[in-house]
Structure 1
């Protein structure tokens, strides 16, 4: 009878896989010896495997360029990175090695762009697409970037007032895009996205506010749906509706030459993950090409804004099982040395699932368990895999440490979890390391951030300031007493 953990994985999934290999009884990820990583840096631990970022960018570029050549598509493809997925410098530095462009969401994104420009990582030839609802600081920062000579900064209009606000601050003529407010799936709590301008309002908006405005040129139409790029009737229907708007605009707006289909490529969330990226890209290019050909309009340049797809599969979290609690006849709780709420907030907030595997003891017998975090919050748990209604791990043994890894956690988790700030129940943010390849192709590691300390938390909470205030108060009391 096959009762070992390795038997379970091999019977359930196609294993090993490209990024997951087994060496003796320990897991490797992209050739990284995870047990060696644990021995060097301890747990809990977060890591970013930087080469995966470049790999995914190059994969997407290849898919789009192949489809463009296949369909004799006359437009060009531009890959943009959606910075909100991860703003870290090491992520942007790696992504920008691949001749890409940037999509921003808020005011401080522009400060990041300017910082990268100052060190030569971004040039005026690269597109900076500015999405999101724009007021005050964001408008001023966009204007500053364009006024400094970055003509390829394209604010994507989200509401009717933004053109006037931008015009007041931008000194020269400038290009804009318009975001379509897509209709949501029936299961959503609202019918239409709060972002962008409704389908029926876009052409009238162009005629009334842009067509005869000598300062503004419409260059781009932006399309995005929350469920992402998936082979569903809903996605293809929304894309066709977007193309109808593009064609209607193109016929009266010769400067319109680009279609931004947003982001939404899924990332691997299970060892059973199956998504035909090449087919989806080919079909998107085919649909756009066909619609434009039938309407006798020039097909647009294609922009994408991949965030999670760019950075998600580069990240991982490693924990140690500290203890097992047998709470009843059926439920065994493996308690880990961190918190799921703080280190993987999407697992708590939107029930997102990541790839979870044991790192060591693959040749031991397995058992069904629940995973619990260290906070005293009942929601701090992880109880199922994406494709299974349970979690199985090597049996807990007090004298044989067990380590587990969560993979493809690189998008959003740090920003949503409040990296470097307060954490629920003051559970410290783990040590974060970067893994990259040197010029010889060998893997190297460096510490990006140490685990938070009590001093870090006390400082954020104001306790150090309180000590200073107490000192000042005593001095004031003393002076007052002498005066009297």
Structure 2
């Protein structure tokens, strides 16, 4: 009778897989001995496997390159990384090794761009696509970047006032794009995205505000679908509507030459995940070329903005099961040594699911469990997986540590969770490890951030030592406080 954890995985999925293998009944991720990493660094533990970022970028470039060659597509392809997915320097440094461009969302993104330019990571030829609702600081930062000579900075107009705001702040001519306010999926709570300008208003807006404005050159139409690029009737219908707008706009605006198909590729959230990336790219290129050929207009250059696809599959989080609570005759709670709310907020906020696997003890019997976090919040749990709507793990044994890994958690979780700041119930942010290749292709790991300490929390809350504007301890204030 097959009752071991490895039996469950092998009969439920096609296993092993490209990134997951088993060695000595312990899980490996891209050849990394996770159990050994746990023994070296402890848990809870977050890690980023940087080579995966470059690999996914190159995969996308190959798909678009092949599709364009197959269909005789005369436009070019530009891969942009959405910085909001993960702003960390190590992520940007890895991504920028692959000759890519950047998409920004808010004012401080421009400061990051300027720092990257200063460090020689990007050049004046790098496209900086500026999305988001723009007010004061964001407008001023965009203007500063363009005024200092970065002509490939393209602000995407999100509302009617932005043209005027940008024109006042920017010296001389500048390029812009217009974002389409796409219609949301039928099950959504509202019909039309709050972002961008409605389909029917694009051409009138161009004629009224851009056509006779010698300072502004329209270069790009931006099309974003919140659900991402998926093989659904909804997606293809919205893409065709977008192409009709592009063609209508192109006929009255000769400078328009680029189409940004924002809305990223999905990433693997289960060992049973299936998605034909190559087919989707091929069909997108085919649809765009066919529509433009029929309308007798030149095909646009293609821009994509991939955030989660770029960085999501590089991340992982590992916990230890501290204790098991039998709450009734059916529910066993495995309590982890951290919090789902703080370390994987998407699992709590939008019920997002990640690949969940035991790190060790694969050759032992399994049981059905619920996973609970350390906070006193009833919502701090993770209770479903792809196989039979439950989580199965090797049986809890007090004298045999059990470690659990959540994979492909690299996008958004740190920023949404408030990296380096306060955490719910003051549960500390885990230690964070970077894994990268050296010049010889060998993997090496290093500590990016230690687990938060009580002193750091107390300082943020106002109890501990105060720091001045340079981040240094203010000894005068410390002295006054001690006397009081």
TM-score with structure 1 setting the length: 0.97
- Report if aligned partners of 2:227, 2:263 keep a CA contact under 8 Å in 1: no
- Say whether residues 1:156 and 2:156 are aligned partners: yes
1:440, CA displacement in angstroms? 1.4
Q: 1:149 to 1:474 in 2, by over 3 A?
A: closer
**CA distance in structure 1 between the aligned counterparts of 2:263 and 2:99, rounded to whole angstroms:** 18
Match of residue 472, structure 1, among 474, 477, 480 = 480
Per the alignment, residue 344 of structure 2 pairs with: 344
1:474, CA displacement in angstroms? 8.3
Per the alignment, residue 413 of structure 2 pairs with: 413
1:441, CA displacement in angstroms? 1.2
What CA deviation, in whole Å up to 9, does each residue of 1:325-346 have, x standing for no partner? 0000000000000000000000
Secondary structure of the 1:261 match is strand
Per the alignment, residue 179 of structure 2 pairs with: 179
Secondary structure of the 1:317 match is strand
- Report if aligned partners of 1:106, 1:138 keep a CA contact under 8 Å in 2: yes
1:145, CA displacement in angstroms? 0.2
Per the alignment, residue 366 of structure 2 pairs with: 366
Per the alignment, residue 482 of structure 1 pairs with: none
Secondary structure of the 2:224 match is coil
1:465, CA displacement in angstroms? 5.5
- Report if aligned partners of 1:124, 1:151 keep a CA contact under 8 Å in 2: yes
Runs of at least 4 residues off by over 4 Å? 465-471
1:264, CA displacement in angstroms? 1.8
**CA distance in structure 1 between the aligned counterparts of 2:147 and 2:388, rounded to whole angstroms:** 54
- Say whether residues 1:128 and 2:128 are aligned partners: yes
Secondary structure of the 2:48 match is strand
Gaps of 5+ in 2: 467-474
**CA distance in structure 2 between the aligned counterparts of 1:352 and 1:218, rounded to whole angstroms:** 37
1:386, CA displacement in angstroms? 3.4
Q: 1:434 to 1:129 in 2, by over 3 A?
A: same
Superposition pairs for residues 102-117 of structure 1, below 5 Å? 102-117=102-117
Per the alignment, residue 99 of structure 2 pairs with: 99
**CA distance in structure 1 between the aligned counterparts of 2:116 and 2:131, rounded to whole angstroms:** 19
Per the alignment, residue 255 of structure 2 pairs with: 255
- Report if aligned partners of 2:174, 2:216 keep a CA contact under 8 Å in 1: yes
Per the alignment, residue 208 of structure 1 pairs with: 208
Per the alignment, residue 268 of structure 2 pairs with: 268
1:468, CA displacement in angstroms? 7.5
Per the alignment, residue 481 of structure 1 pairs with: none
What CA deviation, in whole Å up to 9, does each residue of 1:114-141 have, x standing for no partner? 0000010010001000000000000000
Per the alignment, residue 303 of structure 1 pairs with: 303
Superposition pairs for residues 229-244 of structure 1, below 5 Å? 229-244=229-244
Per the alignment, residue 480 of structure 1 pairs with: none
1:472, CA displacement in angstroms? 3.3
- Report if aligned partners of 1:270, 1:387 keep a CA contact under 8 Å in 2: no
Per the alignment, residue 384 of structure 2 pairs with: 384
- Report if aligned partners of 2:359, 2:405 keep a CA contact under 8 Å in 1: yes
Secondary structure of the 1:464 match is coil
1:263, CA displacement in angstroms? 2.7
- Report if aligned partners of 2:12, 2:387 keep a CA contact under 8 Å in 1: no
**CA distance in structure 2 between the aligned counterparts of 1:128 and 1:311, rounded to whole angstroms:** 18
RMSD, aligned α-carbons: 1.3
**CA distance in structure 2 between the aligned counterparts of 1:473 and 1:411, rounded to whole angstroms:** 41
What CA deviation, in whole Å up to 9, does each residue of 1:74-110 have, x standing for no partner? 0000000000000000000000000000000000000
**CA distance in structure 2 between the aligned counterparts of 1:223 and 1:163, rounded to whole angstroms:** 19
Per the alignment, residue 335 of structure 1 pairs with: 335
What CA deviation, in whole Å up to 9, does each residue of 1:21-53 have, x standing for no partner? 000110000000001101110000000000000
Q: 1:342 to 1:468 in 2, by over 3 A?
A: farther
**CA distance in structure 2 between the aligned counterparts of 1:353 and 1:287, rounded to whole angstroms:** 32
